[in-house]
Structure 1
Amino acid sequence: MIGPELAPEAVLRRLELVVLRRLDGLLQGDHLGLLPGPGTERAEGRAYVPGDDVRAMDWNLTARSLQPHVRETDADRELETWTLVDATASMDFGTGRVEKRDLAVAAVAAVGFLTERAGNRLGAQILHGSGPRLVPARTGRGPLLTLLRTLLGLPRSAPGGQPALADGLERLRRTARRRGLAVVVSDFLDPPETWRRPLALLARRHQVLAVEVVDPRELTLPDVGLLTVTDPETGRRAEIPTASPRLRARYAEEAAAQRAAIAEGIRAAGASRLTLRTDGDWLRDIVHHVAAHRRLAATGTPA
């Protein structure tokens, strides 16, 4: 649907049609539909449950009821969303329906079209091998389409000298000064210990949604004999004897451990995690993610 065989304008038309007609109908609600969470207007109080932010404690209500209570908030009418889009060399890979970079554009399109309302603003920090790029936060459909065109028009990152995800997170934290929604779209292949703290610092001020982009060949190896692979980050080539069951099993174990470490790093940072696969249905995955978070929000259960 968003593959390289289509011209950028055709890709934009398809993305807009899919998001506005399919996702918007399935996810009707307020502008925080992708990640329900707090706003700034004080609303009703409710009983405290483990996991609630202690800064939301309503001490007057607690004293009157003799039980801990928190004060909920209603969502702002205006939302500022910032995206950090990983466009480094490792994202220029895909063995499924699309490449990882195509899936990243689809994720940004979903965020943009679903939050594009009167007064809502969307901006982006783009992590690319040629250097960081800033797209200022603006309102309206025009700036959103400009951002998507920018992402679609990015050249492939040359091997070597790729920027670190941690640097992009720190740059986003300095840029996004107003409380809002921060969406980080990446494969998170940098060691988690390098980006966990910057992600946690970002989550202290913003709601953070980490969109993890995965290709099936990063999880398992097929039995195709001698396979020549190239590391997109460094350009180094290697030959892998995929006919070896022991090698394929070890690869799968290491890949599972890597993904578990990524998931734990995102959780420890206080961010919400959404995994999109190049061989999957990204529309379905987004819908399932939103539905799950809305159920948790309705019951007062922390995500």
Structure 2
Amino acid sequence: MIRPGTAVPVAPEEAVRAEAVLAKLQLLVTRKLDGLLQGDYAGLLPGPGSEAGESREYRPGDDVRRMDWPVTARTTLPHVRRTVADRELETWLAVDLSASLDFGTAKWLKRDLVLAAATAMAHLTVRGGNRIGAVVGTGSGVPERKVSRSWWRRRPETVGDPAPGGPVLRLPARAGRKEAQGLLRAIARTESRPGRADLGELIDMLNRPPRRRGVAVVISDFLAPVEGWARPVRKLGVRHDVLAIEVVDPRELELPDVGVLTLADPESGMLHEVQTADPGLRRRYAEAAGEQRAAIARALRAAGAAHLRLRTDTDWLLDMVRFVAAQRHARTRGTTR
């Protein structure tokens, strides 16, 4: 049992492996993705900005579309609302590290792809004084943990009431590559716990407290019931640009013909024996998996979120490069800036 206020011990070999993986990912991401998104997101261009600021009296030449009617009515003098120019981007990651992510039958574990996606997003968004933070869900059973400013040098602390969906590691948004590397180390060293994380609650934490407009990235296998997380994603999309990164293993889409197969649910521990030699069962499994993934895609599309699917049996970096290039082309409509 883990007592509140104590950090989860990490084996030395796991820490060494995490450092090696992060170093390799940093090199791969730098070579492939560097420069693809420079200047390609809202918030860094000069202009009046979109964040509401203070009100002042109207002067000839002011844009009447910025009239502050409530203040005008109270003071009986015309006022306009000033806006604050957006000079930096704030990115928040909702990282699902529940037990179902410790699975993989191809080149990678799904957990490895989660870390790879987080590394890529950190590298793409951390430049120019931008800030990046994260909330990490790991299962159920212990309270939420919050990490202070020097969270890569100090032990996490348990604060507040227990999180409804289980343990959540909150990493505050900080600027700078050193801070981003520390954030990635904290994610890499986070251990999964038995039980299923509440994905809807994890996503909803990006809405509390309300933050300035930015980018919200949800990284998960989205195996939780769609009705549990669809509304929080829609709510998140009202204010932020949302990117959903779905991590998939091929065995979650179809079963191979290998006879009797014993499967263990990593979240509940239940064992199931499946006769994969039955073609009807394999067909029904593939149909059910296809319907599940289609429901996930529909929910994300209805929320207005960009959807990137990473598979453990393909080149995740190539998939991400293609996605970033497609997003850039769509935003610039085929033109260069």
Check if 1:145 corresponds to 2:155. no
Percent of aligned positions with the same letter in both sequences? 52
Name the aligned partner's letter for residue 165 of structure 1: L
Name the aligned partner's letter for residue 38 of structure 2: G
Q: Residue in 2 aligned with 1:21?
A: 31
**1:52-82 per-position Cα deviation (integer Å, ceiling 9, x unaligned):** xxxxxx998xxxxxxxxxxxxxx94411000
Name the aligned partner's letter for residue 210 of structure 1: A
Contact 1:87 1:127 in 2 (8 A): yes
Q: 1:92-111, aligned counterparts within 5 Å?
A: 92-111=102-121
Aligned residues: 262
User: What SS does the aligned partner of 1:7 have?
Assistant: helix
Check if 1:157 corresponds to 2:202. no
Contact 1:31 1:115 in 2 (8 A): no
Q: 1:14-163, aligned counterparts within 5 Å?
A: 14-25=24-35, 27=36, 29-30=38-39, 32=41, 42=47, 76-129=86-139, 130=142, 131-158=167-194, 160=195, 162-163=196-197
**1:209-252 per-position Cα deviation (integer Å, ceiling 9, x unaligned):** 00001010000000010000011121110000000111001100
Name the aligned partner's letter for residue 134 of structure 1: R
1:289 is aligned, of 301, 305, 323, to 323
User: What SS does the aligned partner of 2:246 have?
Assistant: strand
Name the aligned partner's letter for residue 140 of structure 1: G
Which structure 1 segments of 5+ residues have no match? 44-57, 61-74
The structure in which a higher percent of residues are helix is 1
Shift of 1:13: 1.1
Q: Residue in 1 aligned with 2:241?
A: 207
Q: Residue in 2 aligned with 1:68?
A: none
Contact 1:227 1:239 in 2 (8 A): yes
Based on CA coordinates, which of the two structures has the bigger radius of gyration? 2
Find the aligned partners of 2:330 and 2:210 in 1 and give their Cα distance: 27
Find the aligned partners of 1:122 and 1:110 in 2 and give their Cα distance: 12
Shift of 1:299: 2.7
Which stretches of structure 1, 4 residues or longer, exceed 3 Å deviation after superposition? 37-43
Shift of 1:42: 4.7
Find the aligned partners of 2:296 and 2:316 in 1 and give their Cα distance: 20
User: What SS does the aligned partner of 2:208 have?
Assistant: helix
